[in-house]
Amino acid sequence: MPTFKVPNMTCGHCAGAVTKAVQTLDAGARVAIDLKTQTISVESSAEAARIVAAIEQAGYPVAAT
């Protein structure tokens, strides 16, 4: 399950937007968010690059890990 650092994700609204972005790409994706560490773990059939693109398109830049 890939994990991504999303530094601008700070609240429940942010978490919801990021989750929606990933699940728009893959409706069956399982998303686990940790706001304290600003990380998102995704279990999905989509490629990591497509997941990153979806998160960034939602307005949340993904930091290099």
- What are the structural domain ranges in the chain? 3-57
Predicted model pTM: 0.92
By the 10 Å C-beta count (0-12 exposed, 13-18 middle, 19+ buried), 35 is classed as middle
- Architecture, CATH, for domain 3-57: 2-Layer Sandwich (3.30)
Ranges of the chain with pLDDT below 50: none
